[in-house]
């Protein structure tokens, strides 16, 4: 008997609604609540780090399996992130493939481009973080990095925080910042430095590949939320002085020695009892008040899975994509 699966290229994933940020925010908040209820099976993701012959980091390939019991869906994201792709090959930094599987039989249901899903769900995680962690009355946001993830984060932030009065955007390439200014549905402007964007902002989102910890504590307002989507963008004093420290999956972050939080914890400078999970934050409700808050999500397979499953169902309804056979007739059946 033929085994058929749906194949969705990026254009199909778009037609199936991946750029609907309201839906993505709903997905992410929902999967966090499912995690709180123990409905998500998700081993830590497994990364292979690759290096150039000179020993400098080339990129990584990451396997991210998950299973959401209450939705009855399992799957994996196979994620590539290669730092020099744009300049070396004219390829994006990230390229992802998602396979969805039926958790009753293990049969594959769909294979799809996961590249935009990754960007959108990462942006939506920042959006959910802002909704629950922004200080009271937050209205000005800074976005550092207007690449694929930065754009998604900007769009998700505007969906999550309808009361924003201004978004200041900085990118090393001004043209990228300007393009995003025009995409955002709020007052937005391109500024000349990270510092200019960050000073006087209530919410700061960094989405860069920098490891230089360029954001200084002295630039920050007393009451503000820092969301670190890259992993080493804020100087250590920002982390150490934050009253609220939130991550998504501490066990997964702990395994990555190059993350600032991990290094501070390993060096004994940060007690892990101070670290809260965004899952608990969403369960307990918005963190009211002010002070310095720091949110550093590393990304979780269940986020990809819930978005990919919605895309899959919409694609089925709309008749998008093509059918592939895994086999026409299994050999040795």
Among 17, 30, 39, 85, binds its own copies (CB under 8 A): 85
Among 108, 127, 129, 297, binds its own copies (CB under 8 A): 108
Residue 70, interface with its own copies (CB under 8 A)?
no
# binding residues, its own copies (CB under 8 A): 62
User: Which residues, other chains included, contact 296 with Cβ-Cβ below 8 Å and sequence gap of 6+?
Assistant: 227, 228, 231, 246, 247, 253, 259, 260, 261
CB nearer its own copies, residue 75 or residue 230:
75
Residue 328, interface with its own copies (CB under 8 A)?
yes
What values do phi and psi take at 268, rounded to 5?
Answer: 80, 10
| Contact call for residues 121 and 29 (beta carbons, < 8 A) | no
Q: In the complex, what is the shortest distance from the CB of residue 303 to its own copies, in angstroms, rounded to a whole number?
A: 16
Q: Give the strand order in the sheet containing 275-277.
A: 188-190, 166-170, 140-144, 203-206, 224-228, 292-296, 244-247, 275-277
CA dist 144 → 116, 219, 243, 256, 328 (Å): 19, 14, 22, 23, 50
Q: Is 114 helix (H, G, I), strand (E, B) or coil?
A: coil
Alpha-carbon span 272 to 257, nearest angstrom: 15
Q: In the complex, what is the shortest distance from the CB of residue 100 to its own copies, in angstroms, rounded to a whole number?
A: 10
Residue 264, interface with its own copies (CB under 8 A)?
no
CB nearer its own copies, residue 6 or residue 215:
6
Residue 258, interface with its own copies (CB under 8 A)?
no
| x/- track of binding to its own copies for residues 112-151 (CB under 8 A) | -x-xx--x---------------------------xx--x
The span of 75-83, 162-170, 216-224, 256-264 binding its own copies (CB under 8 A) equals 75-83
Q: How many CB atoms lie within 10 A of CB 88?
A: 10
Alpha-carbon span 254 to 262, nearest angstrom: 5
User: Which residues, other chains included, contact 127 with Cβ-Cβ below 8 Å and sequence gap of 6+?
Assistant: 21, 24, 25, 28, 153, 156, 157, 159, 160, 161
The span of 23-31, 232-240, 258-266, 321-329 binding its own copies (CB under 8 A) equals 321-329
Residue 55, interface with its own copies (CB under 8 A)?
no
CA nearest neighbour of 138 among 105, 165, 116 = 165
Among 38, 48, 56, 251, binds its own copies (CB under 8 A): 48
User: Which residues, other chains included, contact 273 with Cβ-Cβ below 8 Å and sequence gap of 6+?
Assistant: none
Among 17, 36, 97, 210, binds its own copies (CB under 8 A): 97
Q: In the complex, what is the shortest distance from the CB of residue 24 to its own copies, in angstroms, rounded to a whole number?
A: 15
User: Which residues, other chains included, contact 275 with Cβ-Cβ below 8 Å and sequence gap of 6+?
Assistant: 245, 246, 247, 250, 261
Residue 14, interface with its own copies (CB under 8 A)?
yes
Among 37, 70, 72, 91, binds its own copies (CB under 8 A): 91
| Contact call for residues 200 and 138 (beta carbons, < 8 A) | no
Residue 89, interface with its own copies (CB under 8 A)?
yes
Residue 35, interface with its own copies (CB under 8 A)?
no
Residues lying near its own copies in the complex (CB under 8 A) are found at 1, 3, 7, 9-11, 14, 41, 43-44, 46-48, 50, 58-59, 61, 63-67, 74, 76, 78, 80-82, 85, 88-92, 95, 97, 99, 101, 103-108, 111, 113, 115-116, 119, 147-148, 151-152, 324-328, 330-333
């Amino acid at each position: 008997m033929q085994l058929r699966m749906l194949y969705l290229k990026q254009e199909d994933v778009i037609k199936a609604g991946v750029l609907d940020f309201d839906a993505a925010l709903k997905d992410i908040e929902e999967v966090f609540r499912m995690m709180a209820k123990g409905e998500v099976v998700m081993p830590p993701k497994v990364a292979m780090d690759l290096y150039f012959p000179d020993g400098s980091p080339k990129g990584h390939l990451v396997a991210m399996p998950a299973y959401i019991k209450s939705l009855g869906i399992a799957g994996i994201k196979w994620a590539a992130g290669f730092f020099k792709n744009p300049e070396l090959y004219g390829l994006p930094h990230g390229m992802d493939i998602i396979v969805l599987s039926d958790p009753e039989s293990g049969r594959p249901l769909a294979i799809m481009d996961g590249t935009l899903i990754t960007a959108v769900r990462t942006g939506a995680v920042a959006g959910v973080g802002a909704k629950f962690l922004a200080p009271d009355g937050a209205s000005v946001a800074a976005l550092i990095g207007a690449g694929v993830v930065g754009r998604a984060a900007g769009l998700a932030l505007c969906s999550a925080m309808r009361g924003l009065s201004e978004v200041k955007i900085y990118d090393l390439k001004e043209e990228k910042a300007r393009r995003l200014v025009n995409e955002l549905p709020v007052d937005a402007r391109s500024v000349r430095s990270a510092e200019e964007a960050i000073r006087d902002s209530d919410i700061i989102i960094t989405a860069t590949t920098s490891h230089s910890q360029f954001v200084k504590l002295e630039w920050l307002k007393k009451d503000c939320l820092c969301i670190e989507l890259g992993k080493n963008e804020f100087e250590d004093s920002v982390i150490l002085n934050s009253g609220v420290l939130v991550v998504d999956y501490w066990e997964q972050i702990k395994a990555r020695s190059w993350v600032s939080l991990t290094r501070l914890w390993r060096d004994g400078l940060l007690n892990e009892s101070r670290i809260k999970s965004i899952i608990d934050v969403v369960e307990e409700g918005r963190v009211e008040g002010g002070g310095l808050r720091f949110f550093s999500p590393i990304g979780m397979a269940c986020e990809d899975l819930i978005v990919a499953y919605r895309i899959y169902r919409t694609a089925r309804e709309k008749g998008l994509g093509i059918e592939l056979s895994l086999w026409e007739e299994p050999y040795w059946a």
